[in-house]
Amino acid sequence: MTNHGKRLSPQTWERIRTDYEVKRMSFNELQTRYEVNRSNISRRAKKQGWNRALVQQVLDDRLQAKEGIEAAIHKLRLLAAYTVSKPKFATEKRHALEEEANYRERVCSQIEASTLQGMAALDHLLNQALARQDELNSVEFMEVLAKALDIHSKALLRYSQAVFGDKGLPL
């Protein structure tokens, strides 16, 4: 049963949007879960430009970067074991270290590219919000800007953690 007279808070709408874009729930599932009419959800999704594909692409890029890092760590461990067990082969050791350095550079480039794609997606969302500023009231517009800033800062934090470790940027 839906509560037609009940207005949902902006936080509830954000949870609905997250469930739709990230958890990939259908409008019917959202209707049941939040007791709001499916058509209201559909209209808001269209009006605000909810986009599962964009969110999924960013998540896929981050997963790919994480897998690349895990592969790099595994390869570094193998290289470390090899260089410790075969110290007399200095030429091979130097080659392995050069290969490791090149691999790290490629992984960092992948992480950076993934982060830049996420930030480009954020810029796209922000540009859409700015283009539709006249359609939104000031509270809705500020919410969109706050969400964009939050996404941006999280992307930068994840990038610094991926490159510099869990503690982020070195101080």
Q: Give the pLDDT confidence of 69-87 residue by residue, as tens digits.
A: 888 888 888 877 766 666 6
Main-chain dihedrals φ then ψ at residue 134, nearest 5 degrees: -65, -30
Checking if the pLDDT of 5 tops 70, the result is no
The string of pLDDT tens digits covering residues 87-114 is 656 677 788 888 888 887 887 787 778 7
Which SS3 state, helix, strand or coil, does residue 128 take?
A: helix
Average pLDDT, the chain: 78
Instruction: Give the pLDDT of residue 168.
Output: 53
pLDDT tops 70 at residue 47 = yes
Angle of CA points 99, 88, 94, to nearest 5°:
20
Q: What is the dihedral of CA 18, 21, 24, 29, to 10 degrees?
A: 60
Q: Give the span between the Cα atoms of 55 and 128, in whole angstroms.
A: 15
Q: What is the pLDDT of residues 111-132, one digit of tens each?
A: 778 777 777 877 777 777 777 7
pLDDT over 60 (residue 171): no
pLDDT at 133: 75
pTM, two decimals, is 0.36
Q: Most distant CA pair in the chain: distance in Å? A: 79
pLDDT of residue 144: 75
Please give the helix or strand (H or E) that residue 9 lies within, else none: none
**Residue 160 pLDDT more than 60?**
yes
